[in-house]
Amino acid sequence: MTAHPNRLHESAARLPAGRPRRAAAGGVSPAGLLALALIGLAALALPLVADSYLLHSCIVVLFFAYMATAWNFVCGYVGQLSIGHAMFAGVGGYATVLLFTGLGLSPWLGLPVGGLLAAALSVVVGYPTFRLRGPYFALTTIAFAEMIRIWVENTESVLGIPVNGAAGLTVPLAGESLAALQFNGKAPYYYLIVALLAGALAATWALERSKLGFYLKAIRGDRDAAESLGISPARYQLVALAISAFMTGIGGGFYAQFFRYVNAERLIGVDLSIDMALMSIIGGQGTVFGPLLGAVLLAPLAEITRGTLGGSFLGLHLVVYGIILMLAVLYLPKGLIAPLRAVLARLARRGGAR
């Protein structure tokens, strides 16, 4: 590639012939692929050895990892903060349940339909706010999400559709049924969330190399410069937000099927929105694996503080989050994944030198 005949200019001749080839240029190194394959195999084999409690905990962690990855798809790459992503999960979750109870539609279809509805909502939120500069997007997302949560909590039914207010909706028990996406064991749910997470990570990996990914990073870098290079910030941010909301909506549908229950406080509440954002930011936003890392570290931590200390101090996990966030911003502004990457890069280089 370095010895290309149609160089623009003679200055090419003065360059050393072998500019070091970049690992990032084409894709993943063989060692990286091998590591990914091993991790994937281990993940797939886990239900064979884990007990029900461990498997349940793993599903919860992977659910948060998936949600944080979906959040990161737009917010991490474009540098906008959404504190209302739970509204998309809420739309997906409620839609999946209501389509099943009302129309008998299988959740296998309910999940993508819920995702599409969430994407539609995201366009309503994003269309007016992405035109503006500054914190309007963050403010609008939190306002919209809280509006929807409060409305759902105080509405028994709308147009004959039972929303059931603060009590929430239960998914009617269908027993072991593939069509109804209900299983007695945990393993099928585990495989489903692993597949969803793998899909979200693959989408993010593809994003990094795509036109959309470059455009989002450009908008994050400097909006004026991005505009002068042919980028309409409102348009591309909206496309990314819709994809992110679609993935988040599917996550909400998964939540509904796994717990067989949805309510506004848990699924649309600001807690979930903050979880998604913080896991992403602390893990390393704008990277493929950062949100996954953040979820693996923070989700169990939240569970522990909530379980052992939360009884007496409501919201203690948020205090813990806050402290970790401050430390991360101060000492690892690029997220916990940054030092990890440096170590991996050093290992790869040593491996390459051999």
Partner 1 sequence: MNAPLLDVRGIGKRFGGVHAVRDLSFRLEQGEILALLGPNGAGKTTAFNMIAGFFRPDGGEILFRGRDIARLRPWDICKAGIARTFQLSKPFADLTVVENLMVGGFARSSDTAAIRERAEEIADFLGMGRQADTEVQHLTAFDRRKLELGRALSTRPVLLLMDEVVAGATPAEGQEMVALVRRIRDRGITILIVEHVMKVVMALSERVIVMESGRLIADGAPKDVVSRPEVLKAYFGEQYAAARA
Residues near partner 1 (CB under 8 A): 1, 4, 7-9, 11-12, 15-16, 19-20, 22, 25, 209-211, 214-215, 217-218, 220-222, 224-232
Chain centre to alpha carbon of residue 100: 25
Q: Which is nearer to partner 1, 73 or 215 (CB)?
A: 215
Q: Which is nearer to partner 1, 135 or 333 (CB)?
A: 333
Q: Which is nearest to 250 in space by CA: 146, 113, 149?
A: 113
Q: How far is the CB of 79 from partner 1 (least distance, A)?
A: 10
Question: In this structure, what token pair is assigned to residue 247?
Answer: 């993935």
Q: Which is nearer to partner 1, 7 or 133 (CB)?
A: 7
Q: CA 298 to CA 281: how far, in whole Å?
A: 11
Q: Which is nearer to partner 1, 79 or 310 (CB)?
A: 79
Q: CA 77 to CA 23: how far, in whole Å?
A: 21
Q: Which is nearer to partner 1, 51 or 224 (CB)?
A: 224
Q: How far is the CB of 203 from partner 1 (least distance, A)?
A: 16
Task: Return the amino acid letter for 307.
Answer: G
Q: How far is the CB of 140 from partner 1 (least distance, A)?
A: 22
Q: Which is nearer to partner 1, 2 or 308 (CB)?
A: 2
CB atoms near residue 257 (< 10 Å): 25
Question: What own/partner pairs with CB < 8 Å and gap ≥ 24 does 181-188 have?
Answer: 181/106, 181/107, 181/108, 181/257, 182/257, 182/260, 185/52, 186/47, 186/52, 186/55, 186/56, 186/59, 187/47, 187/55
Crossing angle of helices 52-78 and 30-49, in 10° steps, is 150
Q: What are phi and psi of 132, to 5 degrees?
A: -95, 155
Helix (H, G, I), strand (E, B) or coil at 82: coil
Q: Which is nearer to partner 1, 53 or 331 (CB)?
A: 331
Q: How far is the CB of 224 from partner 1 (least distance, A)?
A: 6
Q: How far is the CB of 7 from partner 1 (least distance, A)?
A: 6
Q: How far is the CB of 334 from partner 1 (least distance, A)?
A: 9
Q: How far is the CB of 75 from partner 1 (least distance, A)?
A: 16
